[in-house]
Amino acid sequence: MLSSLKISNFALIDSLETDFPDGFISVTGETGAGKSIILGALGLLSGGRADTKTLRNDKEKAVIEATFKTPSSALKPFFEENSLDWDESELILRREITPSGRSRAFINDTPVTLQTLSNISPLLIDIHSQHNNLLLRDPRHQRMIIDSYGDYDDLLNDCDADFRRFIKLHSRLVKLKKESDGLKQNKELLTLQLARLDKLNLKKGEIAELEQTSQFLSEAEEIHSVLSMAYDSLEGAETNALSLLTESANALNAANLSLIENTEPSIHSRIEAVSIELKDICYTLRTLLSKAESDPVLLEKTDNRIRAVYETAKYFQTTDPESLVVKHNELKNQLASIESGSPELKELEKEASVLAAKLHNTAAEISLKRKECAEKFSRRIMEICRPLGLPNLRFEVKFTKGKIGAEGQDNIEFLCAFNKNQEPLPLAKAASGGEISRIMLAVKALVAERIQLPTMIFDEVDSGVSGEVAAKIGSLMRDLASSMQIITVTHLPQVAAAGTSQFHVFKEDNDNHTLTHIRRLAGDDRVNEIARLLSGDTINDAAILNARELLHLNS
């Protein structure tokens, strides 16, 4: 529950600090005193939009800080997920607005994003202002109300998760089908392209071999001539190096060089070694000569093949002939996919079909639960509202089937009739502002039964009523306060008197400014404020007596 509130430098508030007790708190004050300013400050703790125009002093920052006593342990996982310090005794939310327009948010003095602040605030406090009554006219909000009153969250979570998954599947299917349709439209072109690559039948690494062969055949005659000249010089000609070397070896062998030669190996042995190496070189030259034969026919065939490869590469707009091998395989796979259908497409279609069936079943189950819940909800709304000055209220929930979405397939509309023998009409057409306020109060009361919300704030939800109805609204709020803290801003003495405590918002002038303040009323101060609500600015003895009686009835 909200245990204290501090506001500084915000609109008409210079510095405001107050503690709040448990139970039902009524807040009163003259029109324009600043009650809405206080609620607006609380709204900033729920992630509301900050505006530097709200700074009372545009040279200083505004600070709004709310402390909640003994927060529910159900909030602890939120703190762990967001790396926040948990304190079981209190929870502090703070929002700061600087003169530059920058907004900062804190939870237990730890800086957080505005989104994080917005996520935790609804778990601590619900502020219902008069414009929220308009939400009651919105069919989507009506469906949310029924769902919050029901007990089928698991089904709703499953439906939401499955629908999101289905949307992703559908998006992928649309993309694959578009690609498949595009391939089918290009089937004739793809077939022609594949035929061209089939005819070329290029092998991996072939172009490098072809270009090497072409270069050799182009230079074969020159290579053969050089090899022939070398071979003839060494062995082939009548006078050649090998024969001269042999003659030299024979002559040296005949001479008795031992008389003067004293080195090893001997000169004769060295000539023999050179002769052996030279014979091996000659053998190699003969081998190379046998390979270095020019072949004009093969050269022309090789060059034609190279030309065909590069022409095909140009056709496919690539400068890398090797990529044609990859392209060839891609075309084969694409045409095979067109003929047989994409395996991924078929698998996704099957998965989407199964998921769609599951969604239909879940949506149908949700519809049954919603209808059961709507019947109970309608009965309870009438039970609560009839004593609140709506004795002939008929309340129904109309269901129509729509497209399946994250929330199921139900379109919901609240129907009301306020007079006997009147056909129920949509709430937006049938109800006045005061009637909608009372219905919204009943809705909040029912939803409060289902959720563990520590604090609920109403801003003049009792507008448009008076007398006995106002007293019953006060009694209803007091009953609600048995399980949560209820704070209501009211101009009705009957509602104000029903509060287990009462606060007064007022303006006060100093030498330079008009400032808003708040204080808790007790004793004669509370009696006088109730009397003011009863009689206006002129408080007489009768108003005082009536005020005391009202407070006594609610004591």
pLDDT in tens, 416-451: 999 888 899 988 787 777 788 788 888 888 877 676
Residue 228 has pLDDT above 90, yes or no: no
Contacts of 328 (CB under 8 A, 6+ apart): 194, 197, 198, 202
165's enclosing H/E stretch is helix 153-185
Average pLDDT over residues 246-263: 73
pLDDT of residue 178: 81
Residue 453 has pLDDT above 80, yes or no: no
Q: How confident is the model at residue 133 (pLDDT cuts 50, 70, 90)?
A: low
Q: Is the distance from CB of 516 to CB of 13 less than 8 angstroms?
A: yes
pLDDT of residue 126: 84
Mean per-residue pLDDT of the chain: 87
34 CB neighbour count, 10 Å cutoff: 24
Q: Residue 489: phi, psi to the nearest 5?
A: -90, 125
Q: Is the distance from CB of 122 to CB of 46 less than 8 angstroms?
A: yes
Contacts of 220 (CB under 8 A, 6+ apart): 292, 293, 294, 295
pLDDT of residue 224: 81
Q: How confident is the model at residue 263 (pLDDT cuts 50, 70, 90)?
A: low
Q: Work out whether the CA dihedral 33, 389, 146, 24 comes out positive or negative.
A: positive
- Tell me where in the chain the CATH 3.40.50.300 domain(s) lie: 1-124+453-518
Q: Which CATH superfamily is 1-124+453-518 part of? A: P-loop containing nucleotide triphosphate hydrolases (3.40.50.300)
pLDDT of residue 129: 67
Strand partners, 25: 487, 501
- Closest by Cα among 356, 425, 371, 367 to 395: 425
Residue 265 has pLDDT above 90, yes or no: no
Q: How confident is the model at residue 130 (pLDDT cuts 50, 70, 90)?
A: low
- Closest by Cα among 25, 5, 27 to 501: 25
- Closest by Cα among 340, 337, 332 to 191: 332
CA distance 129 to 487: 12
Q: Which position has the token pair 């002559």?
A: 251
pLDDT in tens, 158-171: 999 999 999 999 99
